[in-house]
Amino acid sequence: MSTLFLRTLREDPADAEVPSHKLMVRGGYVRRAAPGVYTWMPLGKIVLDNVAGVIREEMNRIGGQEVLLPALLPREYYDASGRWTEYGDTIFRLKDRKGADYLLGPTHEELFTLLVKGEYSSYKDFPVILYQIQEKFRDEARPRAGVLRGREFHMKDSYSFDIDDDGLQRSYDLHRSAYIRAFDRLGLRYVIVSAMSGAMGGSASEEFLAETPTGEDTFVRSTESDYAANVEAVRTPAPPALPIEGQPQAQVHHTPDTPTIETLVDFFNAAGLGRTFTAADTLKNVLVKTRAPGAADWEVMGIGLPGDREVDMKRLEAVLHPSEVALLDEADFAANPFLVKGYVGPNALLHNKLRYYVDPRVVEGTAWITGADKADHHVMNLVCGRDFVPDGTIEAAEVREGDPSPDGRGTLYTARGIEIGHIFQLGRKFANAFELDALGPDGKPRRVTMGSYGIGVSRVVAAIVEQSHDDKGIVWPREIAPADVHVVGTGKGEQNEVALRIAGELEARGVRVLVDDRKGVSPGVKFTDAELLGVPTALIVGKGLDQGVVELRDRATGERAEIPLEAAVERVAAAVAGG
Ligand code: ATP
Ligand code: MG
């Protein structure tokens, strides 16, 4: 440490809110270069490489082959896939000296597809799994929390290529098992949740979320089963349909001064109709407009949901992705005069050829109080399947704690996590865009099917710190720690020399050592630094040296033991080996 390029800090950086950001900066692991752009310092680089090493080993174990593609990519490939437009502002775009458009790669589906197309042509060539560990670039709207959400960050991205759906399932399962092994080795607490595939446009997809209260992702779990899902991916269980026969006729009521669901429910309860209504008996119609990527025009659309629920814009966006979505403004109402604000019912939409989707709870035979498409009027007993037929269902309603779990066991509650990995079955989106075919055994071309799989390598480092720290500093799991043992020499005498000698002996046995041989630095400062840096084992060569003893400290448990100097190397080696 007398020569290590390291300066630790006593104060938290002003811009840091989460523990990993504070501790990685204070411990001198990273330094900020620009918003969301970080330099990895010597100890940080070791940790980053260790994490990448674990992931690399597990990728190789499933037969993945490592390559390294460029990060600087010509626009044409992303035009061919449509992602030049779809990615919107998130892509870093640039021009070369001739004015040609380039981008810095946010992920590499396009290039991998072309790469395989260039080399392979027969079904006998497949399957193949290719991966890289590389810097990715995304101009995130809100870079935050240090390396947790960077604009330049490290990702392991892999891509599988198969001839048929069974093969894709096998490649997907292999990745799933590799991720489980890697994250287990990295000592992370995580859940696997089913997810939406977002910008990729595919089918089966799961996310690995490291559980921490500082996580940006909300997910739900069941009280009774191991069901876990992203809020965006929750599928609302539909109740059974009800008979339409014998239901009373729809009835329009004059309902003055009922601008809100609450006032509407009060009105009907005061009307002496012989029953009590709640917000869940009303059908709220939310109007939105959507626009496909690159399209000029917006399309107005209605969403019907029980009046006790709000639309969750994130869930709606996920369903409609890659189209944009926005609420209607005054001009939109003016352009569609049949939409009577505050009194919109399903039929104004359906009769005017606007799409109308309902929440899955709005099943055939359910009767509703809803807008009568006339100012100050509502209709009662409007029966789904009799008085209106929606265009389909949509998952746009908020998910609430206590909702029934979609697997039929228990109820849902929410938790928070950090997305550390993502696996999904892309299918043929990119193979179609680039016509990636393989000649089948019958001599006919077959379209290849793909999977795409990512791990945020730099984000994983921070996620580990989020889960493994205390008020004094980081507590690294041994496998990825910057060193196995931190040998600290304190005192004015021969302590430093002895510390260096022990360090040498340990290194000769293959133990990774950080040795604090700094002169003129107080023992207190050295101990504080050791705790901040978070190496799992510390060996203190201090005052006890006169009596021939040194001290062994365990960073995770805080345990301390005085041991004879002669036993030090053995004991440290045993601790490192897990003894
Ligand atoms: P997020 O929802 O957090 O923005 P994403 O779903 O866009 O992530 P993917 O495209 O699935 O990310 O990328 C694969 C992995 O890369 C993610 O699971 C995550 O671990 C990591 N990752 C994505 N964006 C970032 C970022 N800005 N900084 C650090 N790691 C990231
Ligand atoms: Mg993802």
pLDDT tens digits, 400-429: 999 999 989 999 999 999 999 999 999 998
pTM of the model: 0.80
What is the spatial distance between Cα 64 and Cα 451, in angstroms, rounded to a whole number?
Answer: 13
Q: Whose C-alpha lies nearest to ligand 1, atom 18?
A: 421
DSSP designation for 405: P
For residue 356, what pLDDT band results from cuts at 50, 70 and 90? very high
Domain residue limits, the chain: 19-234+413-466, 251-393, 483-577
Q: How close is the Cα of 105 to the center of ligand 1, in Å?
A: 13
Q: How close is the Cα of 207 to the center of ligand 2, in Å?
A: 7
As a CATH number, domain 19-234+413-466 is 3.30.930.10
Q: Answer whether residue 198 shows pLDDT above 70.
A: no
Q: What percent of the chain has pLDDT over 90?
A: 81
| Residues in contact with 167: Cβ distance below 8 Å, sequence separation at least 6, in sequence order | 126, 127, 449
| Residues in contact with 415: Cβ distance below 8 Å, sequence separation at least 6, in sequence order | 191, 211, 218, 219, 220, 221
Q: Is the CB of 149 under 6 A from ligand 1?
A: yes
Q: Whose C-alpha lies nearest to ligand 1, atom 2?
A: 419
Mean pLDDT of the chain: 93
Model pLDDT, residue 477: 94
Q: Which residues surround ligand 2, an ion (CB under 5 A)?
A: 422
Q: Whose C-alpha lies nearest to ligand 1, atom 16?
A: 456
- The token pair that represents 3 in the structure block: 């020569």
Model pLDDT, residue 203: 54
Q: How close is the Cα of 577 to the center of ligand 1, in Å?
A: 34
Q: Is the CB of 215 under 6 A from ligand 1?
A: no
For residue 543, what pLDDT band results from cuts at 50, 70 and 90? confident
Q: Answer whether residue 197 shows pLDDT above 60.
A: no
Q: Is the dihedral of CA 461, 500, 556, 523 positive or negative?
A: negative
pLDDT tens digits, 464-493: 999 999 999 999 999 999 999 999 999 777
Mean per-residue pLDDT, 505-515? 95
**Quick one: 483-577 is in which CATH superfamily?**
Anticodon-binding domain (3.40.50.800)
Ligand 1 atom closest to residue 138's alpha carbon, by position in its atom list: 27
SS (H, E, C) 244-286: CCCCCCCEEEECCCCCCHHHHHHHHHCCCCCCCCCHHHEEEEE
| Residues in contact with 156: Cβ distance below 8 Å, sequence separation at least 6, in sequence order | 52, 55, 56, 59, 131, 132, 133, 454, 455, 457
Mean per-residue pLDDT, 364-380? 94
**DSSP per-residue letters across 152-207:** EEEEEEEEEEESSHHHHHHHHHHHHHHHHHHHHHTT--EEEEE---GGG--S-EEE
Q: Answer whether residue 201 shows pLDDT above 50.
A: no
**Largest CA-CA distance found in the chain, in angstroms, rounded:** 97
Domain 251-393 has CATH 3.40.50.80: no
Q: Whose C-alpha lies nearest to ligand 1, atom 11?
A: 422
Q: Apex CA 388: angle with CA 385 and CA 392, to 5°?
A: 75
Q: Whose CA is closest to 449, among 465, 469, 472, 425?
A: 425
Ligand 1 atom closest to residue 151's alpha carbon, by position in its atom list: 27
Looking at residue 143, its amino acid is P
Q: Answer whether residue 157 shows pLDDT above 90.
A: yes
143/106: higher pLDDT: 106
Q: Answer whether residue 346 shows pLDDT above 60.
A: yes
Q: Is the CB of 161 under 6 A from ligand 1?
A: no
